[in-house]
Chains A and B, each alone.
Chain A
Amino acid sequence: MSCCGDNPRFAEIDEVSCLSAQKLAAFLRTLRDNGFAAGLAEGQDAAVLMASGFAASPGLLRSALKHLFSARKSDWDRFDGLFDAFWLGKRVRSRSSTMGATKAVSSPSLKSLQDKGARDSPSVSDQVPSAGGAPEGRGGEGRMEGASRAENLGETDFRNLADPDQVEQAHAAAARLAKAMRTRLTRRDLARRRGYRLDLRRTIHRNISHGGVPISLVKRRRKIKPLRLIVLLDASGSMSMYTGVFLRFVHGVLDEFREAEAFLFHTRLAHVSDAMKEKDAARALDRLSILAQGAGGGTRIGESLATFNRHHAARVIHSRSCVMIVSDGYETGDAKLLGREMAALTKRCRRIVWLNPMMAWEGYTPVAAGIQAALPHVDLYAPANTLKSLGALEPYLAKL
């Protein structure tokens, strides 16, 4: 990572002493390690405002730098703690200290990171066993019950899926689904030569050169707009056998869809899109582990959905969104709440798909209170325990 203090442009601002420039550079580094987008331009501006009287008091400087470096609400909320920790030497809050721990090993090899993750936070890696180990680690370890080679790959229950190739296929299935659903029509028109409606204004403009005689016509047709898929994945204990494969599926969805968001939930909800889009697998694992802290116990689907509706839905759902909930529907919280929140969600999005891996189990009937409350609001309730059943969704989703 380059250090801003070395940048010659900083030397130009002579009002700022070399020392404070170095300190500022170190602060920029801390911010970057904590996920702030603090580039060179911001660093320069920070130096400018330190030189123009904003460094007079810590409170003023904090407020000024906060406006400059924050880019979103989460940054805004975290900044004060980071600033105090760095400039005033106050105790770092637990969250930033966890972040700090990752900083120390931000560049080394993938393996050392994984080892470290396992050593430092055993509880965490227990809770999300599949978060990072799914594709690479699973195959060799043989932790899962063995899959019979003779079986048809497509029909192997995900519980028995150990072969990396098959996990790869889950990714590919997600890619196929994505392709089928990627583009949808919208009501927005786009000016085109061929279309179903005449664009009068543009036609007049185009034909000014003919003295206004409409020779070449401009028409409008519907603009194609991507469908957005939002996956809510149940990562609770009862689903643990499936979480790995579905995480891989979610990864595929995030890769392939132009617009997709992913959430994990157990007793609470975590937004994992950014963590899963991380290119470095080790870092992704690290971020996921932090997000998944506090897992275990039951599944509070209702509460998680309430969190989703309240804090995320307005941002991630638009009229062309499909919400896909992957869960067994074993609700340990209030089933009535789940029903209410499902009703609220129906009003927002276009379709709700509920995938239940348990559905294909012999003798399974949806009697759990949670699934009973949710089912009336679900547009498609389908099993998803094999690649084949995932593939079977494709024609349905393509019609959305």
Chain B
Amino acid sequence: MKTKDEIAKALATCGYIADAELATAISLMQLLRRPLLLEGEAGVGKTEVAKALAGVHATELIRLQCYEGLDQSSALYEWNYQRQLLAIQAHHGADADTIEDQIFSEKYLLQRPLLAAIRQEKPPVLLIDEIDRADDEFEAFLLELLSDFQVSIPELGTITAASIPHVVLTSNGTRELSDALRRRCLYHYVDYPDVDREARIIMARIDGASASLSLQIAQMVQGVRKEDLRKVPGVAETLDWAAALVGLDIRDLHDLPEVVHEALMCLLKTKEDRARMTREVIDRLLGKVA
């Protein structure tokens, strides 16, 4: 088991600059074997946490993207009906029991992410993304799986987890999750990074972004976030903008305000927001940037 500081360092080498509390959360995941529930605005890097975690443990990342109507057959397992039918036709006239044993075997089982995750020898990172988009029924089913880590398939019997995966759930808050699921999990609220951390993220992710430019970009984005916008730019948008600026060969935000203004559209995703960020507003924000 790794300590908090080791985890922070390992995350950094995987390209994820974590705040101190997230490292604590990850060490708790190991200690208490509870899933980690990440909540936060869109674009603050919740999914990235899981990817970095897989890097830290040097293990596989298995991702289940939730959507409305997601059910067990696409999340857990399903029989490969077409192959089963072909097998029946091919073995026409054979003993019924033999055929049955054959077509309800591993060979005809389609593993979906959840089943795949619990059957790995080395515990993988299981990312259950946007759990708030799934239905209540699925949430209840997931709760059962996360406490027992075993699945019963009527035709095959019970499959117990070979190893307990590191489970990360993310939620954007489009629906209130059940209290039971919340209680089962460790909770971490992912906030927008502060200037310092955002600058370090830019440096880690964008090749060719100098320390001074990264800091300027981070300060500018902080200013933009404080404006009254419909869609507040997330870290992903910041990185897009930084990549655009680096691509345009800009060394300092004050050099070419025209180009900076054009490129700033990377941050703004709705028509109203674009209308709101006039030249005056941008110049005012630029004035505050060191």
The segment from B176-184, B206-214, B248-256 found at the interface with A is B176-184
Using Cβ atoms and an 8 Å threshold, which residues of chain B touch A212?
A: 85, 88-89
- A3 part of interface (Cβ distance < 8 Å): no
Q: Give the distance in Å from the alpha carbon of A162 to the alpha carbon of B92 in the complex.
A: 80
Which residues of chain A (300-339) have a CB below 8 Å from chain B?
Answer: 314-316, 318
Cα–Cα, bound, A266→B15 (Å): 47
Is A71 within 8 A of B179, CB to CB? yes
Spot the interface stretch: A16-24, A62-70, A358-366: A62-70
The contact of B186 among A67, A201, A211, by CB within 8 Å, is: A67
Chain A residues, Cβ within 8 Å of B28? 49, 64, 67-68
Q: Which partner residue on chain A sits nearest B73 by CB separation?
A: A201
Q: Which of A44-65 contact B (CB under 8 A)?
A: 45, 48-49, 52, 60, 63-64
Measured between beta carbons, the chain B residues less than 8 angstroms from A64 are: 24, 28
In the complex, what residues of B have CB within 8 A of residue A204's CB? Answer: 81-82, 85
Q: Give every chain B residue within 8 A of A49 (Cβ-Cβ).
A: 28, 31-32
Q: Assess A60 versus B4: contact at CB under 8 Å? Given A67-B21, A71-B179.
A: yes
Return A46 CB to nearest CB of chain B, in Å. Answer: 9
Asked if B88 and A71 make an inter-chain contact with CB atoms under 8 angstroms apart, the answer reads no
Q: How far is the CA of A39 from the CA of B179 in the complex (A)?
A: 12
Q: Does B189 contact A (CB under 8 A)?
A: yes
In Å, the complex CA distance between A387 and B4 comes to: 62
Residues of A within 8 A of B32 (CB): 45, 48-49, 68
Is B60 an interface position by the 8 A CB rule?
no
- Give the interface segment out of B49-57, B116-124, B167-175: B167-175
Given A63-B21, A67-B21, A212-B85: A205 touches B189 (CB 8 Å cut-off): no
- Once A45-B34, A48-B31, A208-B84 are accepted as A-B contacts, the answer to whether A71 and B183 lie under 8 Å apart by CB is yes
Q: Which residues of A contact B20 (CB under 8 A)?
A: 63
A37 and B85 contact, CB distance less than 8 A:
no
The reply to whether the CB of B139 lies closer than 8 angstroms to some CB of chain A is: no
Which of B69, B92, B172 meets A188, CB within 8 Å? B69
Q: Is the CB of B173 within 8 A of A42?
A: no
Q: A208-B81, A212-B88 are in contact. Are A72 and B172 (CB under 8 A)?
A: no
Report chain A residues within 8 Å CB of B173.
73, 314-315
B25 proximal to A (CB < 8 A): yes
Q: Closest approach, in angstroms, between the C-beta of B23 and any C-beta of chain A?
A: 9
A60 and chain B: residue at smallest CB distance: B24
Determine whether the beta carbon of B186 is less than 8 Å from that of A188: no
Across-interface contacts of A77 in B (CB, < 8 A): 189
**B188 sits at the interface (CB 8 A):** yes
Number of cross-chain contacts by CB at 8 Å: 78
B138 within 8 A of A: no
Please measure, in the bound complex, the distance between the C-alpha atom of A72 and the C-alpha atom of B4, giving whole angstroms. Answer: 23
Check A315–B176 contact: CB distance below 8 A. Answer: yes
The residue among B89, B175, B183 with the most chain A CB atoms within 10 A of its own CB is: B183
CB distance from B155 to the nearest CB of A (A): 11
Please, how many angstroms separate the alpha-carbon atoms of A20 and B31 in the complex?
Answer: 20
The contact string, 1 if C-beta is below 8 Å from chain B, for chain A 181-223, is 0000000100000000000010011001001100000000000
State how many residues of chain A have any CB contact under 8 Å with chain B. Answer: 32
B103 — which chain A residues lie within 8 A by C-beta? 208
Chain A facing B: main interface SS = helix
The residues of A that contact B25 with a CB separation of less than 8 Å are 67
**A243 → B minimal CB distance (Å):** 26
B81 touches A71 (CB 8 A): no
Interfacial chain B residues near A314, Cβ < 8 Å: 172-174
* Residues of chain B contacted by A45 (CB below 8 angstroms): 32, 34
- Determine which of A42, A76, A188 lies in contact with B183 in the assembled complex, contact meaning CB atoms within 8 Å: A42
The answer to whether B24 and A63 touch across the interface, beta carbons within 8 angstroms, is yes
A73→B81 contact, CB < 8 A: no
A394 CB-CB contact with B under 8 Å: no
Does residue A168 face the partner (Cβ distance < 8 Å to B)? Answer: no
* A73 proximity list for chain B (CB < 8 A): 39, 173, 189
Q: How far is the CA of A77 from the CA of B39 in the complex (A)?
A: 13
Docked complex: A67-87 residues within 8 A CB-CB of B:
67-68, 70-73, 75-77
Contact B68 A201 (CB under 8 A): no
Q: Which residue of B lies closest to A273 (CB)?
A: B176
Contact partner, A76, options B34, B174, B176, B187, Cβ 8 Å: B187
Q: Inside 8 A of B176's CB, which chain A residues have their CB?
A: 315-316
Q: Which residue of B lies closest to A202 (CB)?
A: B81
Return the chain A residue nearest B182 by Cβ.
Answer: A71
Residues of B participating in the A interface, judged by any CB pair closer than 8 Å:
4, 20-21, 24-25, 28, 31-32, 34, 36, 39, 68-69, 79, 81-82, 84-85, 88-89, 92, 103, 172-176, 179, 182-183, 186-189
| New contact pairs (18) apart from A49-B32, A66-B21, A67-B187, CB-CB < 8 Å | A37-B183, A42-B183, A49-B28, A64-B28, A67-B21, A67-B186, A70-B189, A75-B187, A201-B81, A204-B81, A204-B82, A205-B79, A208-B85, A208-B103, A211-B92, A212-B88, A315-B173, A315-B174
Q: What would 12 A/B residue contacts be, using CB atoms closer than 8 Å?
A: A48-B31, A67-B28, A70-B187, A70-B189, A71-B179, A71-B187, A72-B187, A73-B39, A204-B82, A208-B84, A212-B85, A315-B176
Which are the 4 A-B pairs with shortest beta-carbon distances? A71-B182, A70-B187, A63-B24, A76-B189
Q: Which residues of A contact B (CB under 8 A)?
A: 37, 39, 41-42, 45, 48-49, 52, 60, 63-64, 66-68, 70-73, 75-77, 188, 201, 204-205, 208, 211-212, 314-316, 318
